[in-house]
Structure 1
Amino acid sequence: MDDIHKIEQLAAASWPSYIQKNMGQWLLRANFGVTKRANSVWTSADTPEGDFQQEAEHFYKSLGLPVCFHISNASPKGLDAVLAGSGYEKADECFQMTALGWDIMSHTDDNSRFTYKWEEEPSSVWIDHFIQLEEFSPERHQGYTNIFERMPSCKTFFTMYDQESLAAVGTASVIDGYGGLSNIVVAKEHRGKGAGTQVIRALTEWAISNGAKHMFLQVLKENLAAVSLYEKIGFSPISEHHYRIKR
C-alpha cells in the first residue's frame, strides 16, 4: 500500500460518521449533514461492482442529504470525470499534508505564555467553544458529538488559554503510529501571537508521547495562511482531494 492510500485510510478512520455502510471497498458515510467528510462516499479504493451512483444516491436521498463523493488522488482514475458528467458540482479543494513529528518539534519553539487543558473525551463546553470559534451554528453540536465519540480511543481534545482568555482549541488522535490533527481554531483576537504554532506543537508532542512518528492533517487549499503556517513548521502536501456534490 502506498503512502497516499495509507493516509486516506487513516484520515477516514480518524473522522468516523454516525452511519457507515460498506459499498464494496468504498464507504457510505452519513452524519446528519455535519461536515462533508462525514457525509460523503469515501472512494479511495477500487470501484465497487454494480451501479455505485444509483446506490449512493438512494442512500443519501433516503436520509434527506445531498449526494456527495470524496475524490482523492487515491480514488479510481476517471471517477471525477464520470461524476462531473453526471451533474455533480466540485467543492472544497483540500490538501492532505504530512510531517515527521520530530520535524515539527524542531521547527517550533515552546511558547510559555499559554496554558493548556486536556480532555480524553470532549465536554459539552469544549464542543461549544469549538463551534463558537468556528462561528458555526449551535445546531451542529450533536453532529460533532457523534463524530468525536466514535474517533479512535487514543485521542485528546485540547484547549489553550492566554492568561484566562480562550485562545484556541484542537484535536489529535493516534492510529498505527500516525497522529492526525483536526479542529485547530484560533480565536480572532489571539491570531498573530503564535497561538496556531503552539497548538500544533503541543498536540504533536502529545501524539509523539502516544507512539506517533508521523503527523497528518487536512486543510482547504484556499486557506493560504494555514497552508503557509503548516509548510513553515514541516508539513508538505502528500495528496489532494475535493468533493463532488449533487443536491
Structure 2
Amino acid sequence: MTTVGLLYPGHAAEEDFPRIEVMLDSDIRVPLFHTDTGIGTGVGQGASRLEALREAGAPERLAAGVEELRLAGAESLVWASTNGSFVYGWDGAHQQVAGLARAAGLPASSTSFAFVHAVGELGAGRVAVASLDAEDIAPLFADFLTAAGLDVVSVRAVGDDSGPAPADAATWGPERVRELVAAADHPDAEVVLLPCTALHTAAFVPELEELVGKPVLTANQVTVWEGLRLADRRVWAPTLGTLFATREPPLGATQPRGIEVRE
C-alpha cells in the first residue's frame, strides 16, 4: 500500500482524486485533507488577489491539515494548489514546501513543482499554458516555469480582471476544457499545461492529448504523479495520459527527489 497525502484548497474538483485511485487500479490511496483558503470568506477582502492567494498558502493554513495527513499513514505530501504555490516565486515556493516537509516529517512538494518535474519526465522543454487565473496572476506561473529552466512559448489567461475563472471551474464539462486546451496550444509547444486544480480532467486526459497531438499535463494528474514520485512508486496507467505511460525517464533526464525532512 502506498499512501499519498494531499492538502487541497477548499472544495472544487476533489472528485478527481478518488477517480484517479480507481484508474490506477492498484494498492494506492490518495486521501485529501482540505485547507481553508479564506478566499471569499473574509480573507482577501480589501486586498489584492495576489495577497489572497499568498494568504491561502500561508504556513498556518497548510499546517492545519498536516497532523491528519500523518495519522493517515501518508508516505509523501503534496500541496495540491498551483497558484497557491507559484505566487510565492521560485525561492518562496521552495520555502513553502520545506516548511511542510518539516511539519510532516515527510517528502513534500506542490503542484507547481509537480508540473516542472512532469515536464522533465517527458523530456520536454517548451510548454504552452492554459491558465484560468486573472491576467495579473497567470504570468507569475510563466515566471516560475522559466525559473525552472523551461521555455514558456505562450500563456492563455481566461480569468478576468476582478478574479480568476476557477471560481466556477469545477462546473466545466469536458467540451469546455477541450476548447480551452485547443485555444492554448501553440505550434512550438511540446506540452500543454492546465494548472488549475479546480478543473475536472482525470477522466479524459488521453482525449485532450489526441486533440492537440501532444502530451497534456493537468493539475490533478501531475499532483498525484508527484506524490507517487516522492514515494518512489512508479505506476503504469495510460488512461491518465502520456505522463503515466512512461515507465522510465528519457535518457539524460534528472529525477530530483524533492524536499525531504524526516524527524
- Structure 1 and Structure 2 fold alike (TM over 0.5): no
Question: Quick one: higher RCO (CA 8 Å, sep 6+), 1 or 2?
Answer: 1
TM-score, structure 2 normalization: 0.28
More strand by share: 1
TM-score, structure 1 normalization: 0.29
More helix by share: 2
